[in-house]
């Protein structure tokens, strides 16, 4: 029996735009929320999501009626967020997502996603006097932001990379993935809990996770028809991460001139001390590089109980001159 799909929830206060994609015939979904009050300065920032869920489940998701985006707007920022092709149902999916996973190479690689980000940045700048736009990027999204910022330096303002991916020591054999993969709620719960030390209290309550999980399943209209329920996502992000961990990073960090804040959780298994050191050493042309460690936080710190520390550090860095 086929379950009736749930539609993703949209904030009635935000504005929605469909912009032309670099892929002919496809469009991208861009959401925008202005500052809570009029400000003298036009400070714009765009959120770049990671490799398993779109912007509505990250910067715009509310726990207890308050989201990271709400915090940014309260601090005077104009907040934009892009959904890449294949993440959620609001941007058009790539046609390959309808094929068998084995029928294509990993979909949505860094270079491709950076062109989608460029389309969004050009749209925003066309409406706001070609000002540089701040960037908040998570996990795989940091590689997308890095590739974009190196290629389009005049568009990128100050950048916050939280839980960023770094190059690790080369390996003789690399992982090879199919075009797309399925991510279940159990997979996501494991991501929230796997690096929390034994004996420590959880960083996310089951109640909050269950509410978030329902919204997560909503982002794929077919998720609840699968057993177990799972969301289809492009494999390109995972392939890029595995390649970086096998010694093949997708872009040249030395081309980036923007100030960069590396923000990482003390319990983040995907960005440790060695990873942060490599990033700092590679950002040779950046005007400023800051390395910030948040206690009791994992790779998904933006959804965890200590997320307000991430909010404050991000806002302070983006607002600095």
Mean predicted confidence (pLDDT) in 189-194: 92
The whole-number pLDDT of residue 2 equals 41
The whole-number pLDDT of residue 321 equals 66
Mean predicted confidence (pLDDT) in 65-69: 97
pLDDT over 90, % of the chain: 89
CATH 3.40.50.1820 fits 15-181+235-319, yes or no: yes
The whole-number pLDDT of residue 130 equals 77
Angle at 285 between CA 281 and CA 286, to 5 degrees: 85
Residue 63 per-residue DSSP state:
B
Tokens 């209209």 map to which residue? 221
pTM, whole model, 2 decimals? Answer: 0.96
Question: Is 175's pLDDT higher than 60?
Answer: yes
Q: Which pairing describes strands 77-83 and 27-33: parallel, antiparallel, or unpaired?
A: antiparallel
Residue 153 per-residue DSSP state:
T
Determine which of 17-26, 84-93, 164-173 has the lowest per-residue pLDDT on average.
164-173
Question: Is 55's pLDDT higher than 80?
Answer: yes
The whole-number pLDDT of residue 3 equals 45
Residue 183 per-residue DSSP state:
E
From start to end of the chain, where are the E strands?
15-20, 27-33, 43-48, 77-83, 133-138, 156-162, 180-184, 230-234, 260-265, 289-294
Q: Where is 99: in which H helix or E strand?
A: none
Question: Is 197's pLDDT higher than 80?
Answer: yes
Domain regions of the chain by residue span: 15-181+235-319
- Name the nearest CA neighbour of 275 among 126, 183, 142, 165: 165
Digit-coded pLDDT (tens) for 112-149: 999 999 999 999 999 887 789 999 999 999 999 999 99
The whole-number pLDDT of residue 38 equals 74
Half-sphere exposure of 247 (CA within 13 A, CB side): 6
Digit-coded pLDDT (tens) for 41-54: 789 999 999 999 99
The whole-number pLDDT of residue 158 equals 98
Helices marked H in 194-272 — which ranges?
A: 206-218, 236-245
Question: Is 7's pLDDT higher than 70?
Answer: no
Task: Please tell me the distance from the alpha carbon of residue 200 to that of residue 215, in angstroms, as a whole number.
Answer: 27
Say if CB 49 and CB 32 are below 8 A apart: no
Task: Please tell me the distance from the alpha carbon of residue 211 to that of residue 270, in angstroms, as a whole number.
Answer: 25
3-state DSSP call for residue 254? helix
């Amino acid at each position: 029996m086929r379950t009736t799909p749930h539609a993703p929830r949209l904030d009635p206060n935000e504005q929605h735009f469909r912009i032309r994609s670099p892929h002919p015939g496809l469009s991208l979904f861009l959401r925008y929320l202005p500052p809570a009050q009029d400000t003298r300065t036009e400070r714009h920032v765009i959120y770049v999501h990671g490799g398993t869920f779109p912007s509505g489940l990250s910067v715009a998701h509310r726990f207890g009626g308050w989201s990271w985006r709400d915090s940014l707007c309260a601090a005077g920022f104009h907040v934009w967020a892009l959904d890449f092709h294949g993440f959620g149902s609001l941007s058009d999916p790539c046609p390959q997502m309808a094929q068998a996973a084995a029928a294509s190479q990993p979909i949505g690689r860094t270079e491709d996603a950076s062109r989608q980000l460029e389309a969004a940045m050009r749209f925003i700048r066309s409406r706001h006097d070609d000002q540089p736009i701040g960037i908040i990027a998570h996990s795989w999204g940091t590689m997308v932001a890095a590739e974009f910022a190196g290629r389009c330096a005049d568009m990128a303002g100050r950048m916050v990379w939280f839980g960023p991916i770094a190059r690790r020591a080369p390996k003789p054999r690399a992982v090879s993935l199919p075009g797309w993969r399925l991510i279940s709620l159990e997979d996501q719960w494991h991501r929230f809990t796997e690096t929390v030390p034994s004996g420590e209290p959880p960083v996310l309550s089951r109640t909050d996770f269950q509410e978030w999980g329902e919204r997560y399943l909503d982002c794929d209209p077919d998720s609840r028809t699968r057993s177990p329920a799972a969301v289809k996502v492009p494999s390109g992000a995972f392939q890029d991460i595995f390649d970086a961990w096998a010694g093949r990073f997708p872009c040249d960090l030395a081309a980036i001139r923007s100030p960069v804040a590396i923000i990482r959780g003390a319990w983040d298994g995907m960005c440790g001390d060695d990873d942060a050191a490599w990033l700092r050493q590679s950002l040779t042309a950046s005007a400023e590089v800051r390395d910030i460690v948040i206690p009791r936080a994992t790779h998904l710190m933006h959804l965890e109980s200590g997320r307000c520390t991430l909010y404050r550090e991000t806002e302070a860095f983006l607002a600095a001159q």
